[in-house]
Structure 1
Amino acid sequence: MRSAYAEVLRIAVPLMISTGMFSLVLFADRTLLFQHEPAEMGAAMAAGNLFWVSICIFVGIASMTGAIASQYVGAGRPNRIGRMLWQSVWFSLATMPLFLTLAYFAEPLFKWTDQAPTLIPLQTVYFQILMWGGAGEVLQTALSGFFSGTHRTRTIAIVSVVSGVLNLLLDYLLIFGIDPGWWGGDGDVVLELGIAGAGIASVISFWFKAVCYAAILLKPQFRNSYGIIRGLCFDRRMMWRLAYFGFPAGLMYVTEAGAFSVIVLMIGRLGDVPLQATTMAINFNMIAFIPLVGMSIAASVLVGQHLVRSGHEPAIRCVRAALTIAWAYSAAWALAYWFGAETLISLYALNQSESTIPGDAALALKTAEGLLGFVAIYVLLDATQLILAGALRGAGDTWFVLIAGLSVSVVALTIGIVFEPTWEPALWGTDDLATPTTATTPTTMSDSVSGTLRWWWMILTGWVISLAAAMSARYLQGSWKRMRMV
């Protein structure tokens, strides 16, 4: 079992560094937006979720590059990887026109979902800018699959850290602008773009990662061993294989992201403050969750390779090791969420004195502390469903992962919408409809809004618990042990 832990950590740690850098960028991005204009943080959350829903089916298909490549390695046919990789490249580039078309309909879509009128212009511009990077995100996912599938995860970590630092730098410069006073000059701040600047920084980061991976793949050591140049053609059979195994994985991403986005949009109807509080709590959830995506990828790659090379027993040991590590990591965060909520949430106002925080922002900070209690409840089960879903995908059991995820999501959203408590569009206090313009201490949220906010967080928690139960049942049933993709 010790060797299984070593194998999992060797593959997973660089991937966790990579995905952890992504979670850090998300956290910093939204924190900077909160400090620039609190409403921009909530808008970025809703629009960013819609962006992910729009591209994730294609990202899911492209992500199967890693699992399929690992089975080619396990089967002793690495020369086939280059051609398969090129199919994912053609697929990624073909998504660009679709994404730009979706960007055109951003504003009507946000109006249709009944978002707060003050948020719609911010959500629209952020979503439209992000869509210019959609194809870049799909492409970098496809290319990074080569490195995860061939166990070169250190390359993924290095590229992710460099692109993450670039993103953070651009975030600060483009959100707050460039001040000539930094070098002793005079004049106004230039390029203060706010939420638009955050979107531009993300787009540049997406394409930067894709270019880096492409440049590395053109090295002679990869061109010759994996048929990178020889595979430069369209292969209908391989494209079909990528689509067959990747489509349900992509639809599962859509199902999970879509369900989560619907919950966030339902909360967004309650007003800016509930959406801000939700964004703050989810940001800390992402810090725990996103690095475990790296562990899930490692479980997927190792399960796929061991099933082809050495059978299901080594695959089971790797999954157990991945689960144990994920549980230990998540338990540490659960304790932090439960006992240190006030300290964690205070990081959002690190550069602001209490007297300068507007009343609505102060209320959002206070509300977010309570929401972290929900995250503490489900974070361990979220890790469970993530690792087991990755293991099932690595074996090729992608259709079950899709059907289970879709069923759980439909049931959760149906319950949430049908039994949603009635609420009134009044935020401050129980009876007072007036919104104060300044406040030095948090006031109270109206009973109806507060109750409905808690309701949707209960739905979110139940959804995660149900996903964990479904993935656990399938894994224990064991039919994945007989599956192959090559």
Structure 2
Amino acid sequence: MSSFAKRKATTTQMTTPSAHPQNHSSDSVRSIISELLSVALPLMVSAGTFSLVLFADRTLLLWYDGTSMSASMAGGNFFWVATCLPVGIASMTGAIISQYVGAGEEHKIGRFLWQSIFLGIFSIPFFSLVAVAAPELFRFAEQPESLIPAEVTYMRLLLVGAVGAVLENALSGFFSGTERTRVIMWVSLASGIINLVLDWLLIFGPGPFPELGIAGAAIGSSIAFWFKAACFASLIFYYDRDGRYQVRKQFGFDWPLIEKLLYFGFPSGLMFLTEASGFTAMVLRIGRLGDVPLRATTMAINFNMVAFIPLVGVSIAASVLVGRHLIETGPSRAIKSVVAALAIGWAYSAVWCAAYLLLPDTMMNLYELNTPSEESAQAIAIARGLLTFVAIYVVVDATQLILAGALRGAGDTWFVLGTGMVTSVFSFAVGLSFEPALTFAQETSNASLHWWWWMITMWVWLLAIFMAGRFIQGRWKKMRMV
């Protein structure tokens, strides 16, 4: 067992709160919700900006060329699979920093933050190898040969911004961990605007700008990743101008801290990898059915993201508040924060559930603003029906996301990893075992498409059941990361 794991095993036996409480607020319902919203709302706006950018990105590609929209789904998913392990590790920065804050050890934050930055730099060789191997990866996944060139182009240009994506996740952890989430919101809004403007200019090429199509969409996203990383870095130095967090003075490698980040972050990153791989594998199976089913899936997932991604902000808020309150006051207040997060998540996702069931035609009309091709028109018709699947799992998805964030905030990252692995492998195995035979008949193609959407739905429900069981069981209440 590693030295840090031994220390961690000892600290998980702690059952009493920190002896250094900081500014406890009232436990009234109003104060709990107010505290949560003060952290979560800016993060929801930040994540919502990202979801809207992705939505606009794919919609613009549909207007430019329906094939490009399909390719962006597969290429974007492969990009996420390639980056989610280092991004997942980096994303634990905020939860660990929140526990430093709760323990009154803010002077240790700078040293720890540098280790997450080094993580991003160390990932460069891996991203380079993925970029070289991209064509073979898509052929191995049995993608239509006509889509592979566009998928490879999109993925490779996104990988130019991969290190920036890792760095911006690590650096934003400073602001979420110290509960300065408004900074994340404003930087994300600025980045989103830049991304949208670049998408329009580089996809369609008005005036003096080149018409780059799907390549332009990827270039705009990569620039946005690096812009966010640069903004966060500059602002961290600004907020540490008095040396409170020791960012300037604590530059350098610290192997025990790297070990700590990897111990808690590696399972989180593997969880992201497992979930991303499971989802991507299901989407790629849909891609084998042809361009139209994949395009329809992309359209439905596009609207799913608008509902889902802002809830990532609530999940991060739950993670940060659980981490801080476990140190400051013990598990009671942490539980109340999670309950408040669930209430907000359920209310938000219920609105979208109703919209998916009652307004599918209105939603899909957005794709028809620009005269669609015959294939896109077919995809739009199919996507209307797929929104029913999203309605079935959208509230449950909010539940698993928030509870997983709460468990990670306590340090229960290995359980979250195990749950993600088991449910992903199980759902994909069931899908493969009973998948309808692939033929060129339209009715069989639709049956296969719906089958994989049922597998996605089952997978989300299984995640929620396991996360709820673990949270109720309560082992996380004794865990500490600092």
Question: Into which bin does the TM-score normalised by the smaller protein fall?
Answer: over 0.9
Aligned to 2:260: 241
Q: Judge conservation of contact 1:222–1:228 (CA < 8 Å) in 2.
A: no
Aligned to 2:450: 454
1:74-99: CA deviation from partner (whole Å, max 9, x where unpaired): 00000000000000011111111210
Q: How many Å apart are 1:351 and its aligned residue? A: 3.0
C-alpha separation between the residues in 2 aligned to 1:104 and 1:67?
34
Q: Does 1:277 align with 2:273?
A: no
Aligned to 2:403: 388
Aligned to 2:147: 119
C-alpha separation between the residues in 2 aligned to 1:130 and 1:455?
31
C-alpha separation between the residues in 2 aligned to 1:54 and 1:349?
33
Q: Judge conservation of contact 1:327–1:380 (CA < 8 Å) in 2.
A: yes
Say which SS state the counterpart of residue 418 (structure 1) adopts.
helix
Q: Which consecutive aligned stretches of 4+ in structure 1 deviate over 3 angstroms post-superposition?
A: 220-223
Q: Judge conservation of contact 1:223–1:229 (CA < 8 Å) in 2.
A: no
Q: Judge conservation of contact 2:240–2:247 (CA < 8 Å) in 1.
A: no
1:265-306: CA deviation from partner (whole Å, max 9, x where unpaired): 000000000000000000000000000000000000000000
Q: What's the TM-score, normalizing by structure 2?
A: 0.93
Amino acid at match of 2:128: L
Q: Judge conservation of contact 1:70–1:150 (CA < 8 Å) in 2.
A: yes
* Percent pairwise identity: 55
1:171-203: CA deviation from partner (whole Å, max 9, x where unpaired): 0000000226xxxxxxxxx51000000000000
Pair 223,118 (structure 1): closer, same or farther in 2 beyond 3 Å:
farther
Alignment length (residue pairs): 454
Aligned to 1:162: 190
Q: How many Å apart are 1:320 and its aligned residue? A: 0.3
- Equivalent residue runs for 1:293-304 within 5 Å: 293-304=312-323
Aligned to 1:305: 324
Aligned to 2:13: none
C-alpha separation between the residues in 2 aligned to 1:67 and 1:20?
21
Amino acid at match of 2:34: A
Q: Judge conservation of contact 2:321–2:337 (CA < 8 Å) in 1.
A: yes
C-alpha separation between the residues in 2 aligned to 1:55 and 1:223?
34
Q: Does 1:110 align with 2:138?
A: yes
Amino acid at match of 1:126: Y
Q: Does 1:209 align with 2:228?
A: yes
C-alpha separation between the residues in 1 aligned to 2:184 and 2:38?
13
C-alpha separation between the residues in 2 aligned to 1:223 and 1:401?
38
Aligned to 1:82: 110
Q: Judge conservation of contact 2:240–2:246 (CA < 8 Å) in 1.
A: no
Q: Judge conservation of contact 1:63–1:141 (CA < 8 Å) in 2.
A: yes
C-alpha separation between the residues in 2 aligned to 1:263 and 1:401?
21
- Equivalent residue runs for 1:16-31 within 5 Å: 16-31=44-59
2:94 aligns with one of 59, 66, 78: 66
Pair 407,222 (structure 1): closer, same or farther in 2 beyond 3 Å:
farther
Quote the RMSD (CA, aligned, Å): 0.9
Q: Does 1:373 align with 2:401?
A: no
Aligned to 1:150: 178
C-alpha separation between the residues in 1 aligned to 2:95 and 2:207?
47
Q: How many Å apart are 1:215 and its aligned residue? A: 0.8
- Equivalent residue runs for 1:27-426 within 5 Å: 27-179=55-207, 190-219=209-238, 221-222=240-241, 224-352=243-371, 357-424=372-439, 426=440
Say which SS state the counterpart of residue 105 (structure 1) adopts.
helix
Q: How many Å apart are 1:220 and its aligned residue? A: 5.8
Q: Judge conservation of contact 2:199–2:216 (CA < 8 Å) in 1.
A: yes
Amino acid at match of 1:481: K
Q: How many Å apart are 1:231 and its aligned residue? A: 1.3
Pair 306,222 (structure 1): closer, same or farther in 2 beyond 3 Å:
farther
C-alpha separation between the residues in 2 aligned to 1:283 and 1:220?
36
1:309-330: CA deviation from partner (whole Å, max 9, x where unpaired): 1010100000000000000000
1:123-155: CA deviation from partner (whole Å, max 9, x where unpaired): 011011111111110000000000000000000
C-alpha separation between the residues in 2 aligned to 1:68 and 1:261?
29
Q: Judge conservation of contact 2:400–2:464 (CA < 8 Å) in 1.
A: yes
Pair 223,39 (structure 1): closer, same or farther in 2 beyond 3 Å:
farther
Q: How many Å apart are 1:221 and its aligned residue? A: 3.8
Q: How many Å apart are 1:222 and its aligned residue? A: 4.7
C-alpha separation between the residues in 2 aligned to 1:96 and 1:136?
10
Aligned to 2:478: 482
C-alpha separation between the residues in 2 aligned to 1:477 and 1:288?
29
Amino acid at match of 2:258: M
Pair 395,39 (structure 1): closer, same or farther in 2 beyond 3 Å:
same
C-alpha separation between the residues in 2 aligned to 1:288 and 1:53?
21
1:326-378: CA deviation from partner (whole Å, max 9, x where unpaired): 000000000000110111011112133xxxx3211110000000000000000
C-alpha separation between the residues in 1 aligned to 2:396 and 2:322?
21
Q: Judge conservation of contact 1:217–1:223 (CA < 8 Å) in 2.
A: no
Q: Judge conservation of contact 2:110–2:247 (CA < 8 Å) in 1.
A: yes
**For structure 1, which runs of at least 5 residues remain unmatched after alignment?**
181-189, 431-445
1:34-67: CA deviation from partner (whole Å, max 9, x where unpaired): 0000010010001100100101010010011100
Q: How many Å apart are 1:423 and its aligned residue? A: 2.0
1:217-273: CA deviation from partner (whole Å, max 9, x where unpaired): 112645511010121011010000000000000000001111000010000000000
C-alpha separation between the residues in 1 aligned to 2:323 and 2:254?
22
1:437-484: CA deviation from partner (whole Å, max 9, x where unpaired): xxxxxxxxx111000000000000000000000000000000000100
